[in-house]
Amino acid sequence: MTDQIKKHVIAILVDNEFGALARIVELFSARGYNIESLNVAPISKDKKLSRITITTYGTSKTVDLICKLLNRIIPVHRAVELTREYGYIERELALVKIIGDEQKREEALKIADKYRTNIVDITGNSVVFEIIGTSEGIDEILEQFSPLGLEGVSRTGIAAGFKGEKKLDDID
């Protein structure tokens, strides 16, 4: 079981300083692991603390070791694998641009409506949608958009947490 390659999402609380992200990323690259998605943003009022969310594919054993090694990095406060925890939830945001004739744009608007996406901009032959959902959900919508003149996608990568009152601090 531990040898199975699957998706892991890791949350890291880290001091907001240069070099910290590089050290974190190098832990993955040094083991030949690809980072599927990554996002970083300060989460404290004084902007001194950031939360990084990393999505990667690997065996549980290696990801466990990576989490321990992440915790060993000096500016890292906590590194926790979220995917294996009860109550795991994730969201991702994508900005999607469609350029096409009227028929295709209308088709796209219908799909957008079905999936409750927001329209950010309509200019000339182009429409920009904002999609929020799980990564798999976004993949599904993009699949439907692709014959309609899908000309650009920008995804934020996964942001993740837990349902209910459970917090990062509650995990050993």
Partner 1 sequence: MSDQKSSNKFSGAEIIVKALINEGVNTIFGYPGGAILPFYDALFTQDKIHHVLTRHEQGAAHAAEGYARSTGKVGVITVTSGPGATNTITGLTDAYLDSIPLVCISGQVATGVIGTDGFQEADITGLTRSCTKHNYLVKDVNDLGYIIHEAFFIARSGRPGPVLIDIPKDVQNNHGTYNGLVEIKRKSYQAKKNQLKIDHEKISQIVDLLEKAKKPIFYTGGGIINSGVKASEFLLKLIHQTGYPITNTLMGLGGFPATDSHFIGMLGMHGTYEANMAMHDCDLMINIGARFDDRVTGKVSAFSPHSKKIHIDIDDCSINKIIKVDLAIIGDASEILEEIVREWNKRNLKNRQNEISNWWNQIKKWQKIDSLSYEKSESIIKPGYALQKLNELTKKFSPFVSTDVGQHQMWAAQYIQFDEAKKWLTSGGLGTMGYGVPAAIGAQIANPKSLVMCVSGDASFLMNMQELGTIKQYKLPVKIIILNNRYMGMVRQWQELIYEKRESQSYMESLPDFVKLAESFGIKGIRCENPQELEEKFNEMINHKGPVLFDCVIEKSENVFPMIPAGSAHNEILLGSQAKLYVQKDINAV
Which residues are at the interface with partner 1 (CB under 8 A)?
A: 14-15, 18-19, 22-23, 26, 30, 65, 68-69, 71-72, 74-77
Which is nearer to partner 1, 68 or 114 (by Cβ)? 68
| Burial class of residue 132, CB neighbours in 10 A (0-12, 13-18, 19+) | middle
Contacting residues for 109 by C-beta, under 8 A, at least 6 apart? 119, 127
What is the closest distance, in whole angstroms, from the C-beta atom of residue 27 to partner 1 in the complex?
Answer: 9
Q: Residues 14, 20: contact at Cβ < 8 Å?
A: yes
What is the closest distance, in whole angstroms, from the C-beta atom of residue 11 to partner 1 in the complex?
Answer: 15
What is the closest distance, in whole angstroms, from the C-beta atom of residue 168 to partner 1 in the complex?
Answer: 13
What is the closest distance, in whole angstroms, from the C-beta atom of residue 74 to partner 1 in the complex?
Answer: 4
End-to-end CA distance of the chain: 22
Which is nearer to partner 1, 76 or 148 (by Cβ)? 76
In the numeric block, which tokens belong to residue 45?
């009022």
Which is nearer to partner 1, 69 or 132 (by Cβ)? 69
DSSP string spanning 30-53? TTTPPEEEEEEEE-STTS-EEEEE
Which is nearer to partner 1, 102 or 169 (by Cβ)? 169
SS3 142: helix
C-alpha span between 156 and 58 (Å, rounded): 21
Which is nearer to partner 1, 25 or 93 (by Cβ)? 25
What is the closest distance, in whole angstroms, from the C-beta atom of residue 37 to partner 1 in the complex?
Answer: 22
In the numeric block, which tokens belong to residue 73?
């990095």
